[in-house]
Structure 1
Amino acid sequence: MGKLTTTSSSQHSLSLPSDGNVSDDIEKTSCASAAGSINDATPLDSDDAGRPATEDEIKTLRHVRDRIPMRVWLVAIIAAAQRFTYWSTQVTWQNLIQYGPDDAIPGLLGLGQAAGVTINNAFNVVIFMLPLLIGPIADGHLGRYRTLQICNVVCLVGMALMLGFSTPPAVRAGAALPGFMVSLVLVAIGLGGVQTVTSPLIADQYNETVPKIAYRRHGRERVVIDRDMTIHYIYSIYFWLANVASLGMIPASLLEKYASFWSAYVMTTAVLALSCVVLYFGKPYFILCAPSSTVMPHTFRVLVIAARSGFRLDAALPEAQLERGSQVPWDETFIKEMRSGLMAVKVCLVWPFFRLCIGILSSSGIAQAGQMQTSGIPNNLLMAFNAVGLVVVGIVVEHGLYPFLERRRIVFGDMARIVTGLVFMAVSMAYLTMVQALIYAAPPCYSFVQQCVVGPDGDVFTGPNEVNVLVQLPDYVLVSIAEVFALVTGQAYAYKQAPANMKSMLQSIYAVFNGIGYLLAVLISPAAKNPDLVIMWASLTGVMGAATVVFWFCFRSYDRREAAE
């Protein structure tokens, strides 16, 4: 590889060695253009293709996304392995924890439904809260690549332990419960770190910042390549591949039911090991951002100054501080970036309610399926329909709906997309309320599913009520639509608004707000029991509906403001 010149967010340039290697101790390149980024990757039909667009062209020409570099796909594959690990293991845990080895639905620990819901959601709390610690480390000290390496290895060790402690000899020795809990902690640390770093790292791989002229439709249409649209599409790829990978829950569920838990974990461990190999050998191809040890102290100082001045960021501007006789090491641009980042943080306030619903669905939704007649289908396999729905809906939205709106110059801004997702999530919770009411209205146990006394001998009936599990399927379609509109847009918005040296940090804040939702799910998990489940689902419907209305009222002007800028 020839000499590569990169440009950091502060516009200082530095050159990489001719072999493109990066020190193992620290990532020493800045976020910058790799040789042949947009210009080499985009085949164009005119001599002026690739030149910067003028103001008039930006206003009048249609905006399109750019071609996606191969290095984006490499990061997406690593992120997909993380999601494969998450779903192909977590989908087994509700049954593993809730049921014992001799129950009608096979398990290992036999701790009951409430314990299963609590442990599942506690795991998610750790995954989404841990980034608050890992994000500053990645941005300020280790760099994103090194942090990703370490977290991947920690996750691999955790999966290997989970595999070992779920084997028959370990179960017979009584090591299943302590071994499972230790491995759970390691997997949570690993997955939390991987998701913290891959989210900004994948967008770092596309670093063209200037709108440029391109030609589409075989050279017949001049268009403007739009960075924001490209970043959104990159996150759609990230999200789409993650959901393709989440289909790993299908073989995992089947292996769990018809073979054993440990056989499902063999598959997961192998995939995770392969991702470590891809990460190691893909390093020369990645665009890496140098960590900045000053960004976090500066950010903290700015926030303290703003808080002391009535929460006004303008008080931290260099000229405002000079008037008070204080000299600060940041400039006006840093304050502007901070303001942009704080806007994204305010938008994150809705994610706890959204993730609360997802957290309850991923545990109590599986338990709800177990209360119905599955006709031999593993009850946790129903979650796979959510992944299938996400894959299909993602394709339809990205390659059908969005291009349709773009061609007609119909603006469908970030806030409108998020609100659309929130509405579908509220409808999803309402549908599950109806399904639970159907279950409670059906014999033989009605509202005391799997625990009623039947027959003259006083036997306790542990089977399902007479409702077919397929009535739950439409809900996974609703949730898929909700996630495609809300989560993809939310991640892209957080990256777009974040200062250059705080991408991991802002993604961490985004993750933490999601983690709060799972924490809320843990707190209400004691309510996940018969005969109160209709009340629980109805309450979630009301909470999600109210959150949607408040969000739209507070942020509806953001799209107009961005369009004006």
Structure 2
Amino acid sequence: MDEIEKGIFVSKDIERRDGKPADYKVGIPGKLELHILAVVITELCERYTFYGNTMMLPAYFLINLNLPRSQVVVRTKAFSFMAYGSTILGSIIADQWLGKFKTLLYFSLLYFFGTVLTTISSVSFGSAESRKILFYFALYPMVALGTGGIKGNVSSFVGDQVHTDYQATGTPGVYRDPGKTIEKCYRYFYWAINMGALLGMIACPLIVKHSDYPFGFMSTSIVLAFAIVIYFSARKRYTIIVPKMSPIAKVSQCVRYALKNKDSRHAYWLDAARGVENTCWDDRFVDGLASTIRCLKVFAFFPAYWLLYNNITDNIILQAMRMRVPRWIDASQLNLLVQIAIIILIPIYDKFTERVLNKRNVRYGPIKRITTGFIVIIVAYVYMIFLQKKIYSTGPYYDFTGNGANKESFNDIAVWWQIPIYILIGSSEVFTSVTGLEYAFSQAPEELKSIMAAAYQFTNCCGSLLGLILYKLTEDPTIMYLYIGETSVMVVVAIVFWFMFRRFDTK
């Protein structure tokens, strides 16, 4: 029996020009090892904490802190803005100084102490104003910043744990393909994200309903503490990449050289940086930098998607509070249908859809997947506009501008009308957001993976910023025009995106 049949042959022995083994015929994803699963479980717990907090915030701001609806939207979007805006800071700290492992650990501890303080601030003691100040201090500089430091690094860190070589199976010509393993890793990583979010969305509102906010916030602290223990326990098995030269400095030097030396001989301006000796970069880095720039162009269209998506944490919950909600469920809990849709659809895509497409040699590349997600969320918003009109056409308060309406008033229309919105938004996330994470990791050179992951997360921050700018339109009845405007913009974005980047799927 030769080495291929024994299953011990790997690609570094004999390679084709594309880096694959000489007898490569079919690639299959490899298994996810235990330390990879430790990172996945850690992220599941972190998402429980984040989404558990996110689900509690609108009602906490509205009822306990007595804020008007527009200010609830402002503070909720500000939390999301800070959480995803600080991803860049986390990635820079990891890539230039601490490395991903230590950065994740330290930001997790900051995050944990923030959740402890939100718990303390929600207990009735001292003056209401002092508790409010403590709550804001814990929520924004600690919980939001801790989230950003984790989100800026965890997706690239889990990718670092996947083997980069082609490993033979017992069947000649069939190899465990690192590219397919990365895709599988990110699908289940994203599955864990949404399972954690689902659990947080179910548990935290129920805990608040049957106990009170201190116990709801306390549950997030306990789960996050468990996550830190799991993450730290696998430290000896992780692939830890020690930062060397600052990647930002490396990019800066490479770009400056290319701009200074470009001329008509170069088909692409970065080509001027190729083949240069005695520099901190090589041609492989230049190739990766070119891919990174293409990736950033793709990401420039994501803020419009997140503008629509992020309404699930505030405006859509507030819409539910204007509808008839059964006593046994909280208005925010329909949000969990997003996570249920993702949890169901990701394994289906992994086990069935991808196999069918592969057998028929159909390439369903990242640009097609992202565009599909854009289209699905547009359909969700067309339905939401219809629903908002139906709410305003139903009594007793209609558009809530008269008849003694207040912030707790609702019309006689069942909240179950919202179900298609959540399912469609969750379905869009399977195509758009999962692909974005995978695309960020696969397109960037090794030194820039954290920064690229953070750049992708930063698009969510930009979406939240757009939402903050539009907050004055979130009151009744102007929110109807907000939904129409956002949907119209998304239609234009989807069309332009497809025609600009559809050729990228062939590269």
TM category (shorter chain) comes to over 0.9
> Helix, strand or coil for the counterpart of 2:455?
helix
One-letter amino acid of the counterpart of residue 429, structure 1: Y
Unpaired segments ≥5 residues, structure 2:
none
> Helix, strand or coil for the counterpart of 2:221?
helix
2:61 aligned partner? 97
> Helix, strand or coil for the counterpart of 2:6?
coil
5 Å matches for 1:368-517?
A: 368-376=319-327, 377-448=329-400, 452-453=402-403, 462-517=408-463
2:269 aligned partner? 312
2:5 aligned partner? 46
5 Å matches for 1:152-163?
A: 152-163=108-119
Work out whether 1:203 is the aligned partner of 2:144.
no
One-letter amino acid of the counterpart of residue 282, structure 1: A
Q: CA deviation at 1:511?
A: 1.5
Describe the shift of the 1:51–1:146 C-alpha distance in structure 2 as closer, same or farther (beyond 3 A).
Answer: closer
Given the two structures, how large is their TM-score scaled by the length of structure 2? 0.92
Work out whether 1:69 is the aligned partner of 2:33.
yes
Q: CA deviation at 1:148?
A: 0.7
1:190 aligned partner? 146
Task: Tell me which of 233, 237, 244 is aligned to 2:188.
Answer: 237
2:177 aligned partner? 226
Q: CA deviation at 1:175?
A: 2.4
2:476 aligned partner? 530
Distance across 1 between alignment mates of 2:360 and 2:407: 59
Contact conserved, 1:205 with 1:286, CA < 8 A, in 2? yes
Q: CA deviation at 1:318?
A: 4.7
Distance across 1 between alignment mates of 2:151 and 2:432: 17
The one-character-per-residue Cα deviations of 1:148-180 (angstroms, maximum 9, x if unpaired) are 11100000110000000001225x543232111
May I ask how many residue pairs the two structures share in their alignment?
A: 492
The one-character-per-residue Cα deviations of 1:420-452 (angstroms, maximum 9, x if unpaired) are 11111111111111110110110111112xx53
Contact conserved, 1:318 with 1:330, CA < 8 A, in 2? no
Work out whether 1:167 is the aligned partner of 2:123.
yes
Distance across 2 between alignment mates of 1:175 and 1:466: 39
1:35 aligned partner? none
Contact conserved, 1:444 with 1:465, CA < 8 A, in 2? yes
Describe the shift of the 1:305–1:429 C-alpha distance in structure 2 as closer, same or farther (beyond 3 A).
Answer: farther
Describe the shift of the 1:76–1:226 C-alpha distance in structure 2 as closer, same or farther (beyond 3 A).
Answer: same
Distance across 2 between alignment mates of 1:246 and 1:378: 16
> Helix, strand or coil for the counterpart of 2:158?
helix
Unpaired segments ≥5 residues, structure 1:
1-43, 100-107
Distance across 1 between alignment mates of 2:146 and 2:460: 17
Contact conserved, 1:124 with 1:515, CA < 8 A, in 2? yes
Describe the shift of the 1:460–1:268 C-alpha distance in structure 2 as closer, same or farther (beyond 3 A).
Answer: closer
> Helix, strand or coil for the counterpart of 1:63?
strand
Task: Tell me which of 272, 290, 293 is aligned to 2:224.
Answer: 272
Contact conserved, 2:69 with 2:407, CA < 8 A, in 1? no
Describe the shift of the 1:47–1:276 C-alpha distance in structure 2 as closer, same or farther (beyond 3 A).
Answer: closer
Distance across 2 between alignment mates of 1:71 and 1:418: 30
* Farther-moved stretch of structure 1 (133-142 vs 60-69): 60-69
Contact conserved, 2:84 with 2:147, CA < 8 A, in 1? no
The one-character-per-residue Cα deviations of 1:296-347 (angstroms, maximum 9, x if unpaired) are 211112233445559821233354xx8xxxx633222221121121121111
> Helix, strand or coil for the counterpart of 1:174?
helix
Distance across 1 between alignment mates of 2:257 and 2:471: 40
Contact conserved, 1:390 with 1:481, CA < 8 A, in 2? yes
1:40 aligned partner? none
> Helix, strand or coil for the counterpart of 1:410?
coil
Q: CA deviation at 1:401?
A: 1.1
Distance across 2 between alignment mates of 1:272 and 1:191: 11
Between structures 1 and 2, the one with greater helix share: 2
Question: If you compute each CA radius of gyration, which structure gives the higher value, 1 or 2?
Answer: 1
Q: CA deviation at 1:285?
A: 1.4
Distance across 2 between alignment mates of 1:235 and 1:549: 27
CA-based RMSD of the aligned residues comes to 2.2
The one-character-per-residue Cα deviations of 1:361-409 (angstroms, maximum 9, x if unpaired) are 3210000000100021211111111111111111221222112212332
Distance across 1 between alignment mates of 2:251 and 2:164: 26
One-letter amino acid of the counterpart of residue 229, structure 2: V
One-letter amino acid of the counterpart of residue 271, structure 2: D
5 Å matches for 1:262-341?
A: 262-307=214-259, 309=262, 312-319=269-276, 328-341=279-292
> Helix, strand or coil for the counterpart of 1:224?
strand
One-letter amino acid of the counterpart of residue 403, structure 2: V
1:214 aligned partner? 169
Distance across 1 between alignment mates of 2:60 and 2:408: 17
> Helix, strand or coil for the counterpart of 2:168?
strand
Contact conserved, 2:87 with 2:150, CA < 8 A, in 1? no
Work out whether 1:151 is the aligned partner of 2:115.
no
Given the two structures, how large is their TM-score scaled by the length of structure 1? 0.83
> Helix, strand or coil for the counterpart of 1:554?
helix
Describe the shift of the 1:95–1:298 C-alpha distance in structure 2 as closer, same or farther (beyond 3 A).
Answer: same
2:75 aligned partner? 119
